């Protein structure tokens, strides 16, 4: 069970203060959604948690371990991106198992693991196909499957559904909620879509200009928006 905490975390790109003094504790197994307008720093925050970007100042903790400078590979964190790149020449099963092959897991164990993951993600019947032969929603599921392969304790998803059409987005939202219930993992999900945030989150973190505008349950934010930015953002779904 792994929670995360950020203490006065800042990020600068040159003179630009992209993330300013973020204090946030994420509980083990929580589903937290970062939401906010484009450019507010959501991806940067996620990339710092993943270890793809250094923090400029402050502290980052994974459980009770100081983790600011831990390399990506030691964080037990997996990330799913908006533009998920599957390997086109590999089958879906090989795509999901690829991180395990890299980790030199024996073939038979890889097969067992892939079969378990594809069960959960409803991919079992199409495992022998290649990425070019399946739908966008199925491709995104494979990308999630690949992220799950190594049983990460924390799963980060950066606008994973934004390339899908509305019907598929809805279907995948339901899938993700179900997945979270089944997995023993903390999930942090980034979106600029308020409705997605409201339906998925245990807690929502609203970001504005690199700062936290409000943190709370969907109901908290809806009933007691802390300021006009939050009220307008929550009140005007696209
Ligand atoms: P979001 O994901 O909320 O749309 P980002 O985290 O991608 O926002 O970006 C936040 C701000 O940081 C933007 O102004 C963006 O231009 C800037 N930014 C992001 N990455 C870099 C970088 N590598 N170098 C310089 N500026 C960056
Ligand atoms: Mg982004």
pLDDT per position as a tens digit, 130-161:
999 998 888 989 999 999 998 899 999 999 88
Contacts of residue 116, defined as CB under 8 A and 6 or more positions apart, other chains included, come to: none
Q: Which residue's CA is the nearest one to ligand 1's atom 6?
A: 41
Looking at residue 236, its pLDDT comes to 65
Report the nearest atom of ligand 1 relative to the CA of 192.
3
Which residue blocks in 103-193 are alpha helix, DSSP H?
A: 107-120, 136-148, 166-182
Strands 77-80 and 57-62: unpaired
> Looking at residues 198-206, what average pLDDT do you find?
95
Please state the φ and ψ torsions of residue 200, each to the nearest 5 degrees. Answer: -95, -30
Q: Is the CB of 42 under 6 A from ligand 1?
A: yes
> 14: how many CB neighbours lie within 10 A of its CB?
6
Q: Which residue's CA is the nearest one to ligand 1's atom 26?
A: 13
Vertex 181, ends 51 and 31: CA angle to 5°? 40
Vertex 238, ends 231 and 134: CA angle to 5°? 135
Q: Which of 9, 11, 18 to mutate to test the pocket of ligand 1 (most atoms within 8 A of CB)?
A: 18
User: What is d(CA 182, CA 114) in angstroms, rounded to the nearest whole number?
Assistant: 16
Q: Is the CB of 43 under 6 A from ligand 1?
A: yes
Looking at residue 11, its pLDDT comes to 98
User: What is d(CA 149, CA 139) in angstroms, rounded to the nearest whole number?
Assistant: 15
Q: Tell me: the pLDDT tens digits for 56-70?
A: 999 999 999 999 999
Looking at residue 172, its pLDDT comes to 85
pLDDT tier at 167, thresholds 50, 70, 90: confident
pLDDT tier at 7, thresholds 50, 70, 90: very high
pLDDT tier at 30, thresholds 50, 70, 90: very high
Looking at residue 68, its pLDDT comes to 93
Q: Would residue 184 be called left, alpha or beta, if left means φ above 0 and alpha means ψ between -120 and 50 degrees?
A: beta
> Looking at residues 27-33, what average pLDDT do you find?
96
> Looking at residues 80-88, what average pLDDT do you find?
84
Q: HSE (CB half, 13 Å, CA atoms) of 102?
A: 9
Looking at residue 238, its pLDDT comes to 53
DSSP 129: S
pTM: 0.91
Q: Which residue's CA is the nearest one to ligand 1's atom 25?
A: 13
Q: Which residue's CA is the nearest one to ligand 1's atom 1?
A: 39
Q: Among residues of the chain, what percentage have pLDDT more than 70?
A: 98
């Amino acid at each position: 069970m792994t929670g995360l905490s950020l203490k006065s975390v800042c990020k600068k790109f040159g003179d630009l203060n992209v993330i300013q003094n973020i204090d946030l504790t994420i509980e083990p197994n929580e589903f937290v959604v970062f939401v906010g307008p484009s450019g507010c720093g959501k991806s940067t925050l996620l990339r710092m948690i993943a270890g793809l970007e250094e923090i400029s100042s402050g502290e980052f903790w994974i459980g009770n371990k100081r983790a600011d400078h831990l390399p990506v590979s030691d964080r037990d964190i997996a990330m799913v991106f908006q533009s998920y790149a599957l390997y086109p020449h590999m089958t879906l099963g090989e795509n999901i198992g690829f991180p395990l092959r890299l980790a030199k897991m024996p073939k038979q164990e890889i097969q067992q693991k892939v079969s378990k993951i594809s069960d959960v993600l409803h991919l079992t019947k199409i495992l022998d196909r290649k990425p070019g032969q399946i739908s966008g929603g199925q491709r995104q599921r494979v990308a999630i499957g690949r992220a799950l392969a190594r049983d990460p304790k924390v799963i980060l998803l950066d606008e994973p559904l934004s390339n899908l059409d509305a019907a598929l987005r809805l279907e995948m939202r339901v899938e993700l909620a179900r997945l979270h219930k089944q997995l023993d993992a903390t999930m942090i999900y980034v979106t600029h879509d308020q409705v997605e945030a409201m339906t998925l989150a245990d807690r929502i973190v609203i970001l504005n200009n690199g700062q936290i505008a409000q943190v709370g349950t969907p109901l908290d934010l809806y009933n007691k928006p802390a300021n006009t930015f939050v009220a307008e953002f929550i009140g005007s779904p696209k």
